Amino acid sequence: DTEVTQTPKHLVMGMTNKKSLKCEQHMGHRAMYWYKQKAKKPPELMFVYSYEKLSINESVPSRFSPECPNSSLLNLHLHALQPEDSALYLCASTRSGGDTGELFFGEGSRLTVL
């Protein structure tokens, strides 16, 4: 069982909707990540939070808004998305920021934008 929990597992939304993806880990990890994965492609980094501060934003459109309320939680707020934003959104965490080591992934949230 994965130790990074993502909800919801599936989400369908219209282009005018506002929704959020949630991620939780209780491993004491201090870096948390959002990745986007399209079918048959590798994960693509979107955001990194280290010690609850945004460290990396890979030029992601503003319709995606990350939030890190505390060291265990990571949210991704979605607004005015486009159909091409449909993908598997993966949350991940590592033990500490900037120290390469195991990247633990959640099972992902499958997003469909109509």
Partner 1 sequence: QQQVKQSPQSLIVQKGGISIINCAYENTAFDYFPWYQQFPGKGPALLIAIRPDVSEKKEGRFTISFNKSAKQFSLHIMDSQPGDSATYFCAASPSGTYKYIFGTGTRLKVLA
List interacting residues with partner 1 (CB under 8 A). Answer: 2, 4, 6, 31, 33, 40-43, 45, 48, 50, 55-56, 88, 90, 92, 94, 97-108, 110
Nearer residue to partner 1 within complex by CB, 18 or 102: 102
Nearer residue to partner 1 within complex by CB, 39 or 83: 39
**In the complex, what is the shortest distance from the CB of residue 59 to partner 1, in angstroms, rounded to a whole number?**
14
Cis peptide before 8 (omega within 30 of 0): yes
Among 47, 93, 45, which residue's Cα sits nearest to residue 73?
93
CA distance 8 to 95: 24
